[in-house]
Amino acid sequence: MTYADDDLKHILERTRVIAVVGVSLNPERPSHYVARYLALKGYRVIPVNPGHAGRELFGEEIRSDLSQVPKEVDMVDVFRRSDAVPAIADAALAHLPNLKTFWMQIGVEHAAAAATLQSRGVDVIMNRCPKIEYPRLIGD
């Protein structure tokens, strides 16, 4: 799937609070350094990982699932396998009234979940990384 640079830039500029699903405490894991990068760029990053719930990362409590994140989350960034996406999308739609973007990382795609999200007015990005797109489109 291809995305217009203007659309990706608009998404990155309007986003304020990102729930990163599948974040790792290990600084060598992509989910950790992407989330850290986004936090350093001024986004509020809410880490989500049931295995580390209650601990702190980037100044935020790690939440067990999307039902525990603040309602102001406007983007979900998914670091999970593609087969986990439908349940994550359903949880996002059920618990996040301000959801504008559902972003699936490189290697993560799910057409049916994307169609459901889009039918509810949510922008969907698949198989891309905001850490790659941000400096390319906005600058570092």
**Do β-strands 101-104 and 123-125 pair in parallel, antiparallel, or remain unpaired?**
parallel
Average pLDDT over residues 17-25: 97
Distance spanning both ends of the chain, measured CA to CA: 25
- Where does the pLDDT of residue 53 fall: very low under 50, low under 70, confident under 90, or very high at 90 and above? very high
DSSP 8-state code for residue 96: -
| pTM given for the model | 0.97
pLDDT for residue 1: 78
Domains of the chain: 5-137 (3.40.50.720)
Read off the pLDDT of residues 93-103 as tens digits, 9 standing for 90 and up: 999 999 999 99
